[in-house]
Amino acid sequence: MQQYKQIILETARKSIAHGLQYHKPLTVELDDIPEALQNPGACFVTLEINQRLRGCIGSLETRRPLIIDIAHNAFAAAFSDPRFPPLDSNELEQLEIEVSILTPSEEMLFKDEEDLLRQIQTGIDGLIIEDCGRRGTFLPSVWESLPDKQDFLRHLKLKAGLAENHWSDSLKVFRYTTEMIKA
């Protein structure tokens, strides 16, 4: 996807600018888009200003062409992340955009938490956990701030609304990797 870096980042930025003016994501015309970006795909768009998180929204499952997922998630990261107020026009120029393109997730099989921790690949795996009707994910980039496997898993449980020491036989964990596209 690196060969399409410019198209990916321009689409994300244009969708945010379009959102500032029209309050909806950019409509992407697929006619002029390379086929690889028209294929179904899932991504997360992370926005930062001065190396501080300003928004992050994404898709875990493939539901639409990747380039449309990028446009919609860029708009959502700028205007719908519940942790932040909607982006204003003064912030657009300062915005650093990172697009993480996800591989399909695969369910991990493990007998206990120790076995799960042994299988997790530090710095490589993004994880999704599901249990008790709750779900959470950490992108592989989160390893930069949580490099310890136990801390990573504990914080992910908290993000999903579970206790940090939560464990049950119904817990499901999926792994995926990402390709990062950033300026």
At a CB cut-off of 8 Å and minimum separation 6, what does 49 contact? 91, 94, 95, 96
Encoded tokens for 126:
């993004």
Range of the domain at 154: 106-177
Do 80 and 29 sit in the same domain of this protein? yes
Query: Which pTM was predicted?
Result: 0.92
- Single-letter amino acid, residue 11: T
**Digitized pLDDT (tens) for each residue of the chain, 183 residues in all:** 889 999 999 999 999 999 999 999 999 999 989 999 999 999 999 999 999 999 999 999 999 999 999 999 999 999 999 999 999 999 999 999 999 999 999 999 999 999 999 999 999 999 999 999 999 999 999 999 999 999 999 999 999 999 999 999 999 999 999 999 998
Do 67 and 123 sit in the same domain of this protein? no
Kindly state whether residue 182 falls inside one of the protein's structural domains.
no
Number of other CB atoms surrounding residue 121 within 10 Å: 11
Do 126 and 89 sit in the same domain of this protein? no
